[in-house]
């Protein structure tokens, strides 16, 4: 028996209303953390299910797609009693209006082959511009349209398209976290206490901010940020772990080629998750991505928290103590980022490491410190990265099997 679509009345927040009324072919909701971007994107996507044709929903990674973006969309389908079939094996949802393709921006070339009437891209500032360019080429149906929702990440390609391009087809609205009346009153206060004014302007108020005094200003797309490839099995492997609960727990994976160059190829970046679950996900990533039961690591280096180290070991991940000198570690990282005579640096990052890339663009020196020290925010992947570099460039230890 066919379902009867349920009509629900929502009261949109001020910025959400402005985005909804914005008459642009390609429009964006640029907002702070918790400003209602993803909720609005999922709601907007449901409004497109009116028989105009196939659509696409994109997130920076499949993990983010599954954990947040598609989950919010499917919740709306259920709430409105819309009949659908979630074809998980083909990463799409079939409705009476057509297919909704569920995709990651990690591999832009895989976006080809569809003819779309609409698309919603979540956290677009974490994509590489190539994914957006290919997406634009897939929006082929008459009156095709797209919505981007994202917290900004400096003056990157999102800013260039929305502001510098000066195209009549593009428009955007900025929304602040402070506007969301559904948030706990202490949420914004806790962010304000944790962030510098510059970082708060980006993460709370949704403003495009040019961070001055970057620690690693030399990082460049196409030079240090590269497309993923299969890591050869005979390259040395490392993991670096920075513990956290309210702040992100980060695990980075890196491989070292026969010329000594480091390739950061995977990240695990989550908040408010128990160590037992982190351990399970870290070990599952090795099996899933490498197609083998045992992965050999030269070292898994971690922060020095005794209790966390012991608990992680009890769940099957043994670690060695990281060399934690910040100043020495930064200098070693910068030495590896320097482009050599062959035109290549000695350290690379896969473009799929969206959180690491974002931290690289905002990790900066403190102007208040009595000595050269970076600001202690947006630095969790930076710490794990530094641990690995210090391990690779430091005293060699025996191979550890975990």
**pTM, full prediction:** 0.75
DSSP letter string over 174-243? Answer: EE-GGG-TTS-HHHHHHHHHHS-HHHHHHHTT------SSBS-TT--BTTTEE---PPPTTSEEEEEEE-
Give the pLDDT confidence score for residue 401 in this predicted structure. Answer: 37
User: What are the average pLDDT values for consecutive 10-residue runs of the chain, which has 402 residues?
Assistant: 78 97 97 96 95 92 94 96 94 95 92 94 93 95 93 90 90 96 90 88 91 88 91 96 94 97 97 94 78 75 90 94 93 95 95 91 74 82 97 66 40
Q: Which two tokens stand for residue 142?
A: 């008459």
Give the pLDDT confidence score for residue 402 in this predicted structure. Answer: 42
Instruction: Note whether 150 and 124 are within 8 A (CB).
Output: yes
The domains found in the chain, sorted by start residue, are 14-203 (3.40.50.300), 225-401 (3.30.420.280)
Question: Measured over all CA atoms, what is the biggest interatomic distance in the chain, rounded to whole angstroms?
Answer: 71
pLDDT tens digits along 315-353: 999 999 999 899 999 999 999 999 999 999 999 999 899
């Amino acid at each position: 028996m066919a379902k009867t679509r349920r009509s629900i009345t929502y009261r949109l927040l001020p910025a959400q209303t402005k985005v909804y009324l914005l008459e642009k072919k390609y429009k964006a909701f640029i907002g702070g953390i918790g400003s209602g971007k993803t909720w609005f994107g999922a709601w907007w996507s449901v409004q497109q299910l009116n028989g105009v044709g196939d659509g696409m929903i994109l997130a920076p990674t499949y993990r983010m797609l599954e954990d947040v973006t598609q989950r919010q969309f499917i919740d709306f389908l259920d709430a409105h009693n819309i009949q659908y079939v979630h074809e998980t094996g083909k990463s799409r949802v079939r409705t009476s209006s057509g297919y909704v393709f569920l995709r990651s921006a990690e591999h832009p070339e895989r976006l080809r082959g569809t003819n779309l009437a609409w698309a919603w891209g979540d956290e677009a500032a974490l994509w590489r511009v190539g994914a957006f360019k290919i997406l634009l080429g897939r929006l082929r149906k008459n009156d095709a349209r797209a919505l981007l929702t994202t917290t900004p990440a400096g003056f990157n390609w999102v800013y260039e398209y929305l502001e510098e391009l000066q195209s009549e087809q593009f428009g955007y609205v900025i929304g602040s976290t402070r506007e969301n009346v559904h948030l706990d009153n202490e949420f914004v206060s806790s962010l304000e206490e944790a962030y510098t004014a510059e970082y708060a302007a980006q993460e709370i108020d949704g403003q495009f901010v040019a961070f001055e005094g970057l620690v690693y200003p030399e990082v460049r797309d196409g030079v240090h940020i590269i497309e993923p490839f299969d890591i050869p099995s005979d390259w040395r492997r490392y993991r670096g772990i920075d513990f956290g609960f309210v702040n992100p727990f980060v695990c980075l994976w890196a491989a070292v080629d026969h010329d000594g160059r480091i390739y950061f190829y995977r990240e695990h970046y989550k908040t408010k998750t128990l160590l037992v679950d982190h351990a399970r996900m870290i070990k599952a990533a090795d099996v899933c991505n490498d197609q083998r039961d045992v992965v050999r690591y030269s070292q898994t280096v971690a922060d020095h928290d005794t209790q966390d180290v012991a608990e992680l070991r009890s769940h099957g991940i043994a670690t060695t103590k990281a060399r934690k000198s910040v100043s020495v570690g930064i200098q070693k990282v910068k030495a590896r980022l320097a482009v050599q005579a062959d035109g290549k640096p000695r350290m690379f990052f896969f473009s799929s490491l969206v959180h690491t890339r974002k931290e690289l663009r905002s990790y900066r020196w403190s102007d208040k410190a009595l000595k050269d020290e970076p600001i202690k925010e947006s630095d969790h992947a930076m710490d794990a990265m530094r641990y690995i570099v210090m391990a690779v460039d430091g005293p060699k230890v025996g191979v550890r099997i975990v």
